[in-house]
Structure 1
């Protein structure tokens, strides 16, 4: 029996890798949708002061610098001011310096971690953020429908494109055993449990070699494991008990591989989509994977969706957490809140005109922003 399960896990891993690769090419149409509700607007600026927070170790950082400088020169604007991140400071002081500089737009050249840090500083201001996707996942760029392979096009959008407000979220992690606590902003997906284990255990060398597929190898290694008992409270409702392997808090749901992980998640609807995953075995994981890839609408007992503006999860045993793919420490209490329309982002002019799932529109938004009670 044990050998049979082992073979099943190995087979599932192979299927995951192949279908993830295949999903980029074959499932793109099935999973393409708009992750935003509101229409874009033109910033209406004739001249702009441009600041760029950039991670200099990214392979295309020099190219990005040249493209930004050339575009500003061609527009007759003041030369852009560059602020380079360091290993000790991933962008906090650089983003603050860009704000103090008086920038009208702050371009972010780096991965998801750099974007998250700069967004934390720019949130609740009227300073727009432009995206230069130089990382592995580039999750926010995917969710606002930028072509992450076209760096020149991303520079043009960041400097001359339209813009819209999107939601941000914050996750507070507290560890009762160590007495430590921390507060983290995130833009796409945060999590607690197995997903955070995978994020923290992914091989950096493999990630550089094969990109986001590196998470597959770590994911297979962490499939075996026991469920842990937690209490979950949505929007200050009474706590209810669940046994889980992982909980995800999604501001939006498009992930690498051409997969729409959480089809109902929208980045500007003022809500978080919560996914509670509680598989007992490899069969449960495979069922969940195929539901996501093939977009089956049938409910799975091991995968439950909720919507809420605030979520509190407590557990007796510390569990790992992550924000937008970065480890954020172990916690016995996690509190997650959404901040509606708190960040201004440069996007394509037509990003909101793409067809919305299930008809979209204002009626769809009104119906989807209800909080579902835990069973």
Structure 2
């Protein structure tokens, strides 16, 4: 890769915390080795157009610094083009960036990008629109709605997320829907449904990004205690030990409801979608910069062994 375009959301958490000048200075290291790097700091409203333009440009790679929503726009724009996407973890959750082995600190992320290699990964789709990590209804859409209401919380981003979760729990009720998993249909009463692109581990990391699978998590216990526990488990990654949440895999998922439209939280962004919701998989449709795995530290050599 000789020509790299870097698009940064000027309101992303890392940019705000570190300052635009410090972030730009750290990213200049991407130009080592003769690469041409074009770094642009943009307001949030300008990101969609800049990403679309970057996908059509002559650059070899597009690197996006923002939250999961900004990365979703870039993944959608680059899907199927063969152009390479790099991700800087500048948001709150940074699910996709973590799976690409990007460190949270800007200097570490730049070093990881310098050593990264292109790799083809899956995208999931909702009604044909790609997403890189997850999409949810019920509690998850309420969580996204509450997060928007608490954006800029005076106690900081992470306490803001916790407050949003409490608001979402208060608003969430049980609903009935029909779900079809690879054509197998059933009626379900639940307060939340989460569809993920490939399978997440309990640490909210995916061992593989190219399984060609969706995983569906259905939270069915709608008691006050069950709701609170399930919400906490889904946020912290403890859902696999929760008897009120069941999980299954499929390649095609359809969710039907009596309402004509439903709020979905897809890669952290709130979307109003027509019902039924159709989920699918686009195998290896996106090329990303994947950092090498961390090397395990070499075992210490005792003096006696060294002399031998």
* TM-score normalised according to structure 2 size: 0.82
Equivalent-residue separation in structure 1 for 2:155 and 2:198 (angstroms)? 27
Shift of the 185–62 alpha-carbon distance from structure 1 to 2, 3 Å rule, reads farther
Equivalent-residue separation in structure 2 for 1:87 and 1:169 (angstroms)? 24
Equivalent-residue separation in structure 1 for 2:237 and 2:258 (angstroms)? 36
Equivalent-residue separation in structure 2 for 1:193 and 1:265 (angstroms)? 27
DSSP-derived class of the 1:88 partner: helix
Shift of the 85–323 alpha-carbon distance from structure 1 to 2, 3 Å rule, reads farther
Shift of the 184–85 alpha-carbon distance from structure 1 to 2, 3 Å rule, reads farther
Shift of the 350–238 alpha-carbon distance from structure 1 to 2, 3 Å rule, reads closer
Q: Which of 139, 157, 160 lines up with 1:211 in the alignment?
A: 157
Equivalent-residue separation in structure 2 for 1:294 and 1:104 (angstroms)? 36
Query: Where do residues 227-306 of structure 1 align in structure 2 (5 Å cutoff)?
Result: 227-235=174-182, 237-252=183-198, 260-261=203-204, 266-288=208-230, 295=238, 300=243, 302-306=244-248
Q: Which of 255, 262, 270 lines up with 1:319 in the alignment?
A: 262
Query: Where do residues 177-216 of structure 1 align in structure 2 (5 Å cutoff)?
Result: 184-202=129-147, 203-206=150-153, 209-216=155-162
CA deviation string 1:202-232 (max 9, x = no partner):
20022x7432442322222332443111010
- The root-mean-square deviation of aligned C-alpha atoms, in Å, is 2.8
Q: Which runs of 5+ in 2 are unaligned?
A: 297-308
Displacement of 1:305 after TM fit? 0.5
DSSP-derived class of the 2:163 partner: helix
Shift of the 267–214 alpha-carbon distance from structure 1 to 2, 3 Å rule, reads farther
1:55 maps to 9
Displacement of 1:327 after TM fit? 0.4
Shift of the 319–309 alpha-carbon distance from structure 1 to 2, 3 Å rule, reads same
* TM-score normalised according to structure 1 size: 0.68
Query: Where do residues 103-114 of structure 1 align in structure 2 (5 Å cutoff)?
Result: 103-114=59-70
Matched, 1:348 2:291: yes
Equivalent-residue separation in structure 1 for 2:241 and 2:45 (angstroms)? 47
